[in-house]
Amino acid sequence: MAVMVFCIGLAVGSFLQVAYSRYLPSQSLFAYLGAISVPRSTCKNCHHSLYAWHLIPVLSWIMLGKRCYFCQHKIAFYYLFFELFIAGLFLLIYLDKGLNFQSGLLMLLAAWFLVLALIDFHHFLLPDFFTQPLMWAGLMMSYFNLCSLTINDALTGIFYGYLMLKLPAFCYFCLTKRIGLGDGDIKLAAALGAWVPYQFMPILVIMASLLGILYFIVAKCRTSMHIAFGPFLLLSGYLMLYLF
C-alpha cells in the first residue's frame, strides 16, 4: 500500500506541474480546464509532442538520460524533484495518518494548496476559481459533519479570516493611498477560515506574516519589494490542518 501511495504521489506531482505551468492570468475557468486537459505535453525547447512513454514519472527522466528524445535538450531537474516531493509528502501522510478519509483529504488539499501557492508566487495572483471552491468545500464538509468544525464554526472562521486581513489592508490604504495587500489574499484567508478553527485564525495569520518576513529578509537581494503572501497563508493553514 505504501508503494501504491508513493506511485500515486508521483502521478499527481506530474499532473500538478501541468496544472501550474499552463495557467495564465487571462484565462477563465473553462479555458484553464481546457488547457490542462486537452493539449498534449510538449518539449519546452523544440515543442515536439511527447509520446506516452516520455511522461512516466521519474522513469522517463532516467530512460531518456535526462534529455529530450527529439532535440536532446537537457530536462530540468526540478521536474523530477517536484514528482518526488509530492510522492514523499503523500507517503508521509499515509505513514502518519494511515489510509482513511482524513489522509485522503490532506493529500487532496496538499495538491490544491501547492498549485495555488505556485501560481501566486509566479503571477502575484490568487484566482477566484481556486479560492472560492476551497471555501465552499470547507462549508460543505462542516455542514455534513465530515470534519471537526460545525457549520457555525466554519462561518465564523470565514468572517474572522476576512476581517483579519481586510481591516489592516483598509487602514494601510487610508494612510498611504497604496494597496498593501491584494483582495486575493483576503479571500484566501476567508476560505482557510472554513477549514481552520476560528480560534486558531490569529495564530495562522501571525505565522504566515512571520514566514513572509523571514522570506523577505533571506531573499531581499533577489526580489522586489513585493512578495506573494498567499504561499505563506497556505503553508500556515496546511500546518494547522495537519497538526490540529
Is 118 a member of any domain? Answer: no
Kindly state whether residues 76 and 191 are assigned to the same domain: no
Q: Which residues have CB under 8 Å from 158's CB, separation 6+?
A: 135, 139, 190, 191, 193, 194
The tens digit of pLDDT for each residue in 16-50 reads 999 999 999 999 999 999 999 888 888 888 888 88
pLDDT above 80 for 64: yes
Could you tell me the pTM of the whole model? 0.92
- Beta-carbon-side half-sphere exposure of residue 76 (alpha carbons within 13 Å): 9
Pick from 65, 99, 133: which residue ends a domain? 99
Q: pLDDT tens for residues 74-132?
A: 888 888 899 999 999 999 999 999 999 999 999 999 999 999 999 999 999 999 999 99
Q: Are residues 13 and 69 in the same domain?
A: yes
Amino acid 52: pLDDT: 83
The pLDDT tens digits for 177-206 are 888 888 999 999 999 999 999 999 999 999
Strand partners, 42: 49
Q: Which residue has the cell 498611504?
A: 176
The span from the CA of 192 to the CA of 197, in Å, is 9
**Quick one: 164 and 216 in the same domain?**
yes
- If asked whether residues 207 and 145 sit together in one domain, one would say yes
Question: How far is the C-alpha of 158 from the C-alpha of 59, rounded, in Å?
Answer: 43
Whether the predicted pLDDT of 221 surpasses 60: no
